[in-house]
Amino acid sequence: MSIDTVDLWIVIIGLGLGSFALRFVFLGLVGNRPLPAWVLRHLRYTAVAVLPGLVVPLVVWPAATEGSVDAPRMAAALVTLAAGYFLRNMIVAIVLGALTLYGGLAFLG
Amino acid sequence: MTTETTKSVYWQGVRDGAPFILVIVPFSLLFGVVATEAGLNVFETLTFSVLALGGAAQFTALQLLTDGAPTVIALISALAVNLRMAMYSASLTPWLGEARLGQRALAAYFTVDQSYACAIVKFEQNPGWDIPRRLSYFFGVVTPICPLWYMFTLVGALVGTAIPAGLALDFALPITFLAMIGPMLRTPAHLAAAFVSVTCALVFAVLPYNLGLLVAGLAGMMTGARIEVLLERRKDAART
């Protein structure tokens, strides 16, 4: 279905302003006031707590296969994660993951 | 090392940001293509990328609008995906909080997964860097990333449906994020945080509006912080 132009612009502008507000809230408004130790301790785990949660549904229920588990995508995800963890090199991990995905799609898909 | 000039630190940032080009180009291209397929014109698509500057949130909003979800739901869900930016903002505050307001506003706009991930690692490795060096590094990382994000959104919108589906570009985002996560898992606390996050994201996937991700993020952070305290206590106990 086609998207209503007004709805689209509400979302574009709202997402733009909202995203900036989220990015600015601490850096801009809190500034150089020191943060308590317990806040800092939680913040150390932000990325490692949010990104896996963001990725895992995309791996387990990929949109491209309408949400059913897909062997090439699952294999590519596991290879990428393992390569990133053991080799500590993001680019090598991406290349190995992409090769696994294309190899898997060629042989299985 | 305080002997490094702000210029050399800037170029260090550019070098650290450059590998992400491999990720940013296909990902923004994909957004341009998907948006065009959803009926957006070139101007709408490009404005989307410039204002939101967050691939996952942009895709979320677009997906929900295409599915005919209410406008407010599409907006809230996309903002929920971008909520991690508030956490990045808080995490960068101890390092950049003393910069001038304008610089902080600019750094806030350019806070994305990649610039945050690079900066936080580098700042922790170089606690002696002053504010100008930290900012130079941060904007160095951003330099090869954000302009290409805009440019290839535009290219994607212009080439539109000419991209073959066999490229499986849908999986560019998961692979990128997984490759970022691997090297982040440095301590048992990081591993536990990631494990709890994954578990919660799957269990709470039934929650509407992406709330499952918020639960997973909060639970993961609390787990990481808790394990860190426990490990420190055990280390102290072993010492005495």
For chain A, what are the domain ranges? 1-33, 47-107
Residues B103 and B91: their CA atoms lie apart, in Å, by 16
In this model, does residue A30 exceed pLDDT 90? no
Whether the complex's predicted ipTM surpasses the cut of 0.95:
no
Residue B106 belongs to domain spanning: 6-184
B130 and B236 share one domain: no
CA proximity to A29, closest of B97, B162, B232, B173: B97
pLDDT in tens, B181-227: 898 899 999 999 999 999 999 999 888 766 787 789 889 999 999 99
Total domain count for chain B? 2
In this model, does residue B1 exceed pLDDT 50? no
Q: Is residue B226 part of a domain?
A: yes
- Mean pLDDT for all residues in chain B: 88
Structure tokens at B129: 């860097």
B126 and B64 share one domain: yes
Neighbours of B26 (CB within 10 A): 19
Q: Which of A93-102, B58-67, B203-212 has the highest mean pLDDT?
A: A93-102
pLDDT in tens, B138-173: 999 999 999 999 999 999 999 876 766 667 767 877
In this model, does residue B8 exceed pLDDT 80? yes
Residue B67 DSSP code: T
B171 and B203 share one domain: no
Q: What is the pLDDT of residue A109?
A: 59
Percent of chain B residues past pLDDT 70, beyond the cut: 95
CA distance B5 to chain A (A): 24
B-chain residues near A22 (CB < 8 A): 79, 82-83, 85-86, 89
Percent of chain A residues past pLDDT 90, beyond the cut: 45
Residue that wins the pLDDT comparison between B126 and B79: B126
B121 and B227 share one domain: no
pTM over 0.80? The answer is no
Burial pattern B141-175, b for ≥16 Cβ within 10 A else e, equals: bbbbbbebbebbbbebbeeeeebeeeebbbbbbbb
Domain boundary among B184, B201, B226: B184
Q: What is the pLDDT of residue B112?
A: 93
Chain A residue at shortest CA distance from B70: A7
Domain boundary among B142, B169, B184: B184
Residues B103 and B106: their CA atoms lie apart, in Å, by 5
CA proximity to A16, closest of B88, B75, B23: B75
B201 and B89 share one domain: no
B23 and B141 share one domain: yes
B33 and B113 share one domain: yes
B233 and B127 share one domain: no
Enclosing H/E stretch for A83? helix A71-87
Distance, CA of B232 to chain centre: 29
Residues B237 and B123: their CA atoms lie apart, in Å, by 30
Q: Is residue B1 part of a domain?
A: no
Residue that wins the pLDDT comparison between B167 and B113: B113
Among A9, A27, A45, beta carbon nearest to B108 = A27
Say whether A23 and B89 touch across the interface (CB within 8 A): yes
Band of residue B179 on the pLDDT scale cut at 50, 70, 90: confident
Say whether B61 and A15 touch across the interface (CB within 8 A): yes
Structure tokens at B32: 């341009």
Residues B178 and B196: their CA atoms lie apart, in Å, by 16
Q: How far apart are the first and last CA of chain A?
A: 29
Q: Counting beta carbons within 10 angstroms of the beta carbon of residue B131, is it exposed (0 to 12), middle (13 to 18) or buried (19 or more)?
A: middle
B94 and B195 share one domain: no
B70 and B155 share one domain: yes
Residue B158 amino acid letter: L
